[in-house]
Amino acid sequence: MLDLVIRDGLICDGSGRPPFRGSLGIRGRRIVSLGGIREAAEREIDATDRVVSPGFVDPHTHFDAQLAWDGFAQPSLEHGVTTVIPGNCSLSLAPLRAGHRELLGAIFRQIEELPKAAFDAGLEWRWETFEEYVGALRPGLGINVAPLVGHSLLRLWVMGEEARERAATADEVAQMQDVLRASLAAGAIGMSTSWVDVDHEHRPVPCRHALHDELRALCRTLGETGAMLQVVPEFYAADLLCARIDILAELSLECGIPTTFSPLFESLATPSLVGRALERIEKQAARGARVIPQMQTRPIDVSFDLSEPSIPFASKPTWWQVLAGPEQRRLEQLRDPETRAALVAETRNGIDPIALKVDFAQIRVRGVKRPENAGLVGRTLGEIAAERGGDPVEVMIDLSLDEGLKSCFVASDIGHRDSEKIGRRLAHPHVQIGAGDGGAHVSRFATYGDTGRLFGEFVRRRGDLSLEQAVRKLSHEICLAWGIHDRGLLQPGFAADVVVFDPQSIDRGPEEPVRDLPGEAGFRYVRRARGVEHVIVNGAPTYSASGGYSGARAGEIVPRSAPGTL
């Protein structure tokens, strides 16, 4: 007898072949049969008029901390994601010596904008090495995890605080190679690094002090098993990005590794960037290099308040200095006419954390604390400023002061305004769906929604991709690139990671504030899904739209093999 049969669905197996009607049989953690199945099962799911596909893979997340208190990486499963890849942007939670926990916490919280209360309350540090880290995670997983090890962490482990100051010696590089080798053996799927990120003191993260010879040596170690290199390049400048693509291509060819960078982002500020980057990638691919750009399907909703520094002000030194100061000094400076004038002048060109230009007048009030301000929620700063005869930035500052800096603002639908152009980009054979940032910016961004938006906007409404193309993009294509050898396809012998969804309703769902952070961290904004009805992880029904989370903890640290060629 089978454990589970998913009957009479439209099987979209992840290969890119046209879908077909049939059933899927599961025994234990594996798919055992596909097609016409008469065998009885302990449980059945009626998939009539539904699509049955492999579980989706999210290649760019920052669930590192969240997984310590939430082994389901919510809301990933609700969007059909059964495997997440954390540890991006040079940051992982291991290997890490106990003496550097506070330092890493400060860096991680700054870059990924996690509330300190949640980070401190939710993390019970029970590891130093990468092997100990994955061992601590493994028992609580309800989702599959394929973790990267961060380059900045390798430097901290070997060099200590000096990793933040200087290049490594040849002996230190050799030690980093040994630690990387041990991390890969313990379950790391690759290594991440960054050419752009800054820490809590606005200094370059440790990996940015590495000379190219250090990166090349580490890539040679990755090449021993063909493991992935993930990079955050200068994604806001076409010339720099193309130069970085060339560097990644040389590392790929020399070391025999796949490389990926994220994000690749359409922006009104840099309209030629994506086209130029893709042309360069195509040229390097013709040489045999593997450079994979990650692109997200959705606009970004950037939420922020003035209680601390945040991404919207990362490139604005006056704002950063004011918001990074002690609370009392921050309040004094926000009230000071001279400082306010400087802040207003600095925002004339809008928010540009990722080479985007946003009109402050179009930013909306997302949330307030005082009842008398409730009528402002949902209105733009421009509308309020017109009524009051002031400047939108002055309105933002005044409202923040009135609310003890706890009023929340949102710049919605940044970038990605041209759906026709985005659809063509997503269908490009070298583009991977990624850079979703799940687990990061949890109190500021309504993350997730890439999978639903891909099917809702670019498959169902626009037709830029076929159903089978979109499923392949989210499953088998990513598994091939990353060396995940037994997932991403519906075929006997493969892991039973399965999604059942309604092709007529799957979409990016509503945004909701949810109070599920540990400690006194408060709420975060969560992007719900539409149309995802059942999610199976390693044969275990783990989420359903009607019943929510089952509590099954069948997730695992995903083993890897040498990646295939896309």
Q: What is the Cα–Cα distance from 62 to 442, expressed in whole angstroms?
A: 10
The confidence score (pLDDT) of residue 6 equals: 98
Please name the residue that has the structure tokens 């999610």. Answer: 535
Decide if pLDDT at 313 tops 90: no
**pLDDT of 51 above 70:** yes
- Coil, helix or strand at residue 16: coil
Residue 236, C-beta contacts closer than 8 angstroms, at least 6 positions apart: 267, 269, 270, 273, 352, 354, 355
* 157-170 residues labelled b (16+ CB within 10 A) or e (exposed): bbbeeebbeeebee
Residue corresponding to tokens 């922020």: 304
pLDDT for 378 beyond 50:
yes
Which is more confidently placed, 366 or 59? 59
Mean pLDDT of the chain: 89
Take residue 303 and report the two structure tokens written for it: 């939420």
- Enumerate residues 6+ apart whose C-beta is below 8 A from 170: none
Band (pLDDT 50/70/90 cuts) for residue 525 is: low
Q: Which CATH class is domain 89-224?
A: alpha beta
- What's residue 224's pLDDT? 96
- Per-residue pLDDT of 221-241, as tens digits, reads 999 999 999 999 988 788 999
Tell me the pTM. Answer: 0.88
Entry field: residues in the chain = 566
Cβ neighbours for 76, distance < 8 A, ≥ 6 positions apart = 58, 61, 63, 84, 143, 438, 448
Question: Residue 308: what pLDDT?
Answer: 76
pLDDT, one tens digit per residue, over 386-429 is 999 889 999 999 999 999 988 888 876 555 556 788 899 999 99
Task: State the pLDDT confidence band at 311, using cuts at 50, 70 and 90.
Answer: low
What are the respective helix, strand and coil percentages of the chain, to the nearest 5?
40, 20, 40
Return the bridge partners of 300, or none. 414
Q: What are phi and psi of 355, to 5 degrees?
A: 60, 35
**pLDDT at site 44:** 97
> What are the structure tokens assigned to 59, written together?
């290649």
What's residue 355's pLDDT?
46
| Element holding 392 (H helix, E strand) | helix 392-402
User: Helix H segments across 461-561?
Assistant: 467-474, 476-482
* Of 218, 97, 232, nearest in space to 156 by CA: 97
What are 323's two structure tokens? 């918001």
How confident is the model at residue 564, as a pLDDT?
46
Give whole-number Cα distances, 392 to 172, 307, 361, 409, in Å.
Answer: 51, 18, 5, 12
Query: Which pLDDT score is estimated for 417?
Result: 57
Of 84-93, 254-263, 356-365, 535-544, the poorest mean pLDDT is in: 356-365
Q: What are phi and psi of 492, to 5 degrees?
A: -55, 135
Locate all alpha helices (DSSP H) within 37-168, ordered by sequence: 66-69, 101-112, 116-122, 130-137, 151-159
Residue 439: what pLDDT? 58
Per-domain residue ranges of the chain: 2-54+531-549, 89-224, 301-414
Number of other CB atoms surrounding residue 557 within 10 Å: 19
499 DSSP β-pair partners: 53, 535
Classified by CATH at the fold level, domain 2-54+531-549 comes out as Urease, subunit C; domain 1 (2.30.40)
Residue 463's CB: how many other CB atoms inside 10 A?
Answer: 9
> Which residues fall within 8 angstroms of residue 374, CB to CB, at 6 or more apart?
368
Q: What's the rounded mean pLDDT across residues 112-122? A: 76
Whether residue 274 contacts residue 235, with contact meaning beta carbons closer than 8 Å, is answered with no
The whole-number pLDDT of residue 521 equals: 59
Mean pLDDT of 70-93: 95
Say whether 340 sits in a helix, a strand or coil: helix
Bridge-partner residues for 10, per DSSP?
21, 51
**pLDDT band at 201; cut points 50, 70, 90:** confident
**C-alpha span between 206 and 156 (Å, rounded):** 7
> Mean pLDDT throughout 491-497?
97
- Beta-carbon neighbour count of residue 504 at 10 Å? 13
